[in-house]
Amino acid sequence: MKNSKNNFVDYVKIYCKSGNGGKGSAHFFRSRIQPKGGPDGGDGGRGGHIIVRGNRNLWTLLHLKFTKHIKAGHGGDGGKNTSTGSSGKDIYIDVPIGTIIKNIETNQYLSEITSDKEEYVLLQGGLGGRGNVHFKNSVRQSPRYAQPGQTGVEASVVLELKVLADVGLVGFPNAGKSTLLSVVTAAKPKIADYEFTTLNPNLGIVQYRDMQSFVMADIPGIIEGASEGKGLGHRFLRHIERNTCLLFMIPASSNNIMKVYNILLKELTKYNPELLDKNRLLVITKSDLINDEIQQSISSSLTIKHLFISSLNNIGLTALKDEIWKILIEKND
């Protein structure tokens, strides 16, 4: 059985091509009664579209990981008796909610899928050519030509997934994010004492009082300069955009907690200033490593709301869940 850690895919590149339009017909009506009838060539059918569609049952882009080329069907040619050719088969690319579509060559943002069954026509199929019946007039009674169909459009695109969670854990590598997630949820993220242990977001459901629950996401570690693309910056930061509440997690052993907090805040702001509108809470992790006197000293140096926790020793976790729940409830009121 393959390790499930490879089952989360949040970034794929795909080459797409819409279908060509069918040729118009240059047919003339013929019968025993009317051996030299007029033009009756029908239009060609349109080529198939490439359509991206939201699917709430998908959580990853894994199903597209090995799909490198997607091509829609071509339109059918026009026929006699002004019959229109069949339309080319449209191709639907189902993606999770929160998927961004970008052009690879220009890095241009094209669209974001934000709801179930939402559709975005990525590439339109070529129009079918008009049949010769359209070109008949008082001067030209027997046009012997028809239009060819338009060629389909091609493009290479990137699909990027932004994870949806109520709470996003933000911090530098080894801040204790994965450990917290493993303790308060059933998720089993990889945990080790080196940078970028977490290479993809891990999600878990936190059980709360009275059968309530919320979703927590361990966002992979940010480094200074992440907003400029250093490390895996942009791949990490986009997942934060869909979180309702952000927990800034900083170890108690840090030399200057407020400085670290401001660096994290700066990276988020440079990436997307709208992230400042989200609710934020400073969580000081690994507090079992400090005594009460040091904890009091740290508290007195901070000017923002904060909580001390120890995931390993189950210190402060109930208070943390209470505070998160309060934030989520106020956000929804």
Checking if the pLDDT of 273 tops 70, the result is yes
Max mean pLDDT among 14-23, 101-110, 136-145 falls in 14-23
Three-class DSSP category at 250: strand
The distance between the two most distant Cα atoms of the chain, rounded to a whole number of Å, is 108
| Alpha-carbon span 96 to 316, nearest angstrom | 35
- Length of the chain in residues, anyone? 333
pTM here? 0.70
227-244 confidence digits (pLDDT tens): 454 444 455 677 777 788
Tokens of 203: 């999600």
Query: CATH for 1-161?
Result: 2.70.210.12
Q: Taking 50 as the threshold, does the pLDDT of residue 82 lie above it? A: yes
CA distance 147 to 23: 6
- 186 burial level (CB within 10 Å; 0-12, 13-18, 19+): exposed
**Strand 99-103 vs strand 154-161: parallel, antiparallel, or unpaired?**
antiparallel
Task: Round to whole Å and give the CA distance between 117 and 91.
Answer: 14
> 46 near 126, Cβ under 8 Å?
yes
Count Cβ neighbours within 10 Å for each residue of 301-316 and write b for 16 or more, e otherwise.
eeeeebbbbbbeeeeb
7, pLDDT greater than 70: no
Amino acid (one-letter) located at 240: I
What pLDDT digit, counting tens, does each position of 92-102 carry? 999 998 899 99
Q: Mean pLDDT over residues 280-284, rounded?
A: 95
The pLDDT of 34-59, averaged and rounded, is 92
Cα 149–155–158 angle (5° rounding)? 150
Q: What pLDDT score does 149 carry?
A: 96
What is the band of 78 on the pLDDT scale with cuts at 50, 70, 90?
Answer: very high
Instruction: Specify whether domain 165-332 bears CATH 3.30.70.1350.
Output: no
* Per-residue exposure over 89-119, b if at least 16 CB sit within 10 Å of its own CB, e if not: ebbebbbbbbbbbbeeeeeeeeebbeeeeee
Which amino acid is present at 187?
A
Reported as a pLDDT band with limits 50, 70 and 90, residue 33 is confident
Phi, psi values for residue 273, rounded to 5° = -55, -25
Are 121 and 80 within 8 A, CB to CB? Answer: no
Rounded to whole angstroms, the Cα distance separating 250 from 254 reads: 7
Q: Where are the domains of the chain?
A: 1-161, 165-332
The span from the CA of 29 to the CA of 82, in Å, is 10
Instruction: Supply the pLDDT for residue 54.
Output: 95
Residue 226 confidence (pLDDT): 44
CB 136 within 8 A of CB 144: no
pLDDT at residue 330 in the model: 81
